[in-house]
Chains A and B, each alone.
Chain A
Amino acid sequence: MGKFNKGKKRAMAAISTASLPDIVFMLLFFFMMTTVMQTEDEMVKVVRPEVSEVYKIEKKHLIRYINIGQPQDARYGTEPVIQLNDQFAEASAIRDWVDVERLTLAESEQTKMWVSLKVDKDTKMGVVTDVKQELRKASALKVLYSANSRERTGS
């Protein structure tokens, strides 16, 4: 009865590792897709105007943002509000805000700070003017009116 060979144990087949790279890649992609770079939440609705003469700031770490527009959340009304970091603020708070933000930069770069104004295009200039006046008082004079680029018209 030699049909059932009990003595020789069959070695367990090794699990194929050929698909391991695929699995690793899948994981990699999963992380790549789901990772969001940390940016500040916009609490106001901003539709940027379109302009032809754009200037691009390469050194992003020098930019601090002020958002102005209608609140996203209708409970805060429809009047344009100013957003500093992640809260609404009055124009009068800008001077202190600038001082604080300036200190987050290296000393050698404190004079190079940019303030980017992300303003909704339907906002009335009154609010923007107030903000600009406060920025001048705070000596934050380098300003970028954030906008999308378009072609030059006419000429």
Chain B
Amino acid sequence: MADIAFLLLVFWLVTTTIESDEGVKRQLPPPVPEDLEQQEVKEGDVYNVRTNFRDELLVEKKVLRIDELKAGAKDFLVATGDGILNPVRDNVVLNDGNMMYPERVWVRKGELQILELSYLGAGQTKRAAKVREKIRAIELFGGDYRELPGSALISLQTDRNTSYDLYLQVQNELEAAINELRDELAEAKFNMSYAEMVERYERSKEPSLLDRIMAVRLVYPQRISEAEPRDAGATYY
């Protein structure tokens, strides 16, 4: 009897998990001051995703299904080539005036080193540290890479009558696009998926892992922004 009781006890201990919460993580932007002027952004630099009250997606002025969104977002992020894994896409002409995609620009080690010195000379240590991070990334990748322009971002605008499920699926697909690209790069350069690197870092807090994570993030930053909600009764599309 006592043996059976012990078996049960062990079974119970093993199968019980302390419930923790999981889901999609987001950092909301701080409130915007009302007098803030809208910044001019190149049209090609923004990947516009809109959802309407019928749970339809309008992506870059085209109607898309939810399962096509991830591929679309990946296309947007690497169309002009990241200089490491993804070459410039065939149909993309660089230095074109009306590009549909943000144009990634080369970051070169030699130029960065000069830049770092000039920042250090001027006492701008924060900026110098940022440049240092990029140099570190180039060293880890074993070559220069192309970075996204600062204004490139994915913009999501949701109608008030969109269902929450669709909203979260859109958020999820966009994040999946970025995570897949990160995984591919990490796999190719560090023989480990990005997700695994993050998980290992959480456990070991090993600085070399952090450097690699930051390097991958530099090539594929997560920039998903949500448009400020419009007034109710805004025009449908």
**B162 interface residue per 8 A CB criterion:** yes
**A93 interface residue per 8 A CB criterion:** no
CB <8 Å contact, A146 and B21: yes
Pick the residue among B21, B24, B30, B67 that contacts A136 (CB under 8 A): B30
* Residue numbers in A under 8 Å from B1 (CB-CB): 19, 21-22, 25
Q: How far is the CA of A135 from the CA of B226 in the complex (A)?
A: 15
Q: Which residue of B lies closest to A21 (CB)?
A: B2
Q: How far is the CA of A58 from the CA of B1 in the complex (A)?
A: 37
Q: How far is the CA of A65 from the CA of B184 in the complex (A)?
A: 35
Q: Which residue of B lies closest to A68 (CB)?
A: B164
- A1-48 residues with Cβ-Cβ distance < 8 A to B are 19, 21-22, 25-26, 28-29, 32, 48
CB <8 Å contact, A122 and B175: no
CB <8 Å contact, A53 and B27: no
Q: Which residue of B lies closest to A25 (CB)?
A: B5
**A66 interface residue per 8 A CB criterion:** no
- A102-155 residues with Cβ-Cβ distance < 8 A to B are 116, 119-126, 128-129, 132-133, 135-137, 139-149, 152-155
| CB within 8 Å for A129 and B160 given contacts A136-B28, A139-B30 | yes
Pick the residue among B18, B23, B158, B169 that contacts A146 (CB under 8 A): B23
- Shortest distance between the CB of A101 and any CB in chain B (Å): 15
CB <8 Å contact, B28 and A126: no
Q: How far is the CA of A125 from the CA of B167 in the complex (A)?
A: 8
- Shortest distance between the CB of B193 and any CB in chain A (Å): 12
Main secondary structure of the interface of A (DSSP, over half): mixed
| CB within 8 Å for A49 and B20 given contacts A25-B2, A135-B28, A143-B27 | no
* Residue numbers in B under 8 Å from A57 (CB-CB): 20-22
**B12 interface residue per 8 A CB criterion:** yes
- Shortest distance between the CB of B203 and any CB in chain A (Å): 11
Give the total of A residues in contact with B, Cβ under 8 Å.
51
Q: How far is the CA of A133 from the CA of B5 in the complex (A)?
A: 53
Q: How far is the CA of A146 from the CA of B169 in the complex (A)?
A: 12
CB <8 Å contact, A144 and B25: yes
Q: How far is the CA of A135 from the CA of B89 in the complex (A)?
A: 41
Q: How far is the CA of A132 from the CA of B30 in the complex (A)?
A: 11
* Residue numbers in A under 8 Å from B161 (CB-CB): 124-126
5 smallest beta-carbon distances between A and B, as pairs: A126-B160, A121-B165, A55-B25, A25-B5, A51-B172
Sampled A-B contacts (16; CB under 8 Å): A22-B2, A51-B172, A55-B24, A121-B168, A123-B164, A124-B164, A125-B160, A126-B161, A136-B29, A144-B21, A145-B171, A146-B22, A146-B23, A147-B22, A147-B24, A149-B22
Where the two chains meet, the residues of A that have a C-beta atom closer than 8 Å to any C-beta of B are: 19, 21-22, 25-26, 28-29, 32, 48-49, 51-58, 60, 63, 116, 119-126, 128-129, 132-133, 135-137, 139-149, 152-155
Given contacts A141-B29, A146-B23, 20 further A-B contacts (CB under 8 A): A29-B8, A29-B9, A51-B168, A52-B176, A54-B23, A55-B23, A55-B24, A57-B20, A57-B22, A58-B20, A63-B21, A116-B23, A121-B163, A124-B161, A132-B28, A136-B31, A139-B31, A144-B21, A147-B22, A154-B67
